[in-house]
Amino acid sequence: MAASNSSKLFSVGRSILGGLCNNSIGSIRSSSEMVQVDFLSQQQRTFIQMRTSLKVVDNSGAKKVMCIQALKGRKGARLGDKVVVSVKEAHSGGKVKKGEVHYGVVVRAAMQRGRCDGSEVKFDDNAVVLINKQGEPIGTRVFGPVPHELRKKKHLKILSLAEHIV
């Protein structure tokens, strides 16, 4: 029954199905959908939730990070949201060490996010910038494009460090 529900919802919106992906039935369905149309690489892009591995795009020292909690959002974090992360991989001698817990801001998400003019944006990968509890970035540089959704969320420091704003 949950499977048939999710199949109906699949046609409505991928993101909703992704939200229901929290249980294993949903995720198996989505992976089977993937296999059926695998040649066209129609991947379901979903929220950033617990255990999502993310790339770090600042020079704070961390390289790969795992999301432990998406603050705000029942189904998970999207572009521009804050997350709590645990550092899995770090550069030696950086500000941040492996195994530490920090906050982060999602600056690139593979899941499309609607803009206020009605269009949608999506990026190639999932990336975060590590911040402290106050919201200031730990690193001093940000790599890659960032969306201007951050302006609304008041992450102006990150925007100022960014090399390309989309």
Partner 1 sequence: MRLEKCWFCSSTVYPGHGIQYVRNDAKVFRFCRSKCHKNFKMKRNPRKVKWTKAYRRLNGKDMTQDATFEFERKRNRPERYDRSVTENTLKAIKKIDKVRVDREARHHSQRMKGKKAQVLREATKELEQSIHMVKAPAALQEDSSLTLPKIKVKVSQPTEDNRMLE
Tokens of 5: 């529900």
- Of the pair 89, 124, the CB lying nearest partner 1 is at 124
Nearer to partner 1, 93 or 117 (CB): 117
Minimum gap (Å) between residue 78 Cβ and partner 1: 15
Minimum CB distance to partner 1, residue 92 (Å): 25
Rounded (10°) angle between helices 24-36 and 2-12:
50
Residue 121 CB, shortest distance to partner 1, in Å, is: 5
Which CB sits closer to partner 1, 5 or 42?
42
Burial of residue 160 (number of CB atoms within 10 Å: 0-12, 13-18, 19+): exposed
Separation CA 164–CA 56 (nearest Å): 16
Q: Which residues bind partner 1 (CB under 8 A)?
A: 40-42, 108, 112, 117-125, 144-145, 147, 163-164, 166
Q: Least CB distance from residue 151 to partner 1, whole Å?
A: 16
Query: Least distance from C-beta 41 to partner 1, angstroms?
Result: 6
Neighbours of 24 (CB within 10 A): 8
2/37 with CB nearer partner 1: 37
Q: Render 8-48 in DSSP notation, one character per residue.
A: HHHHH-HHHHHHHTTSHHHHHHHHHHHHHTGGGT-PPP--B
Nearer to partner 1, 54 or 103 (CB): 54
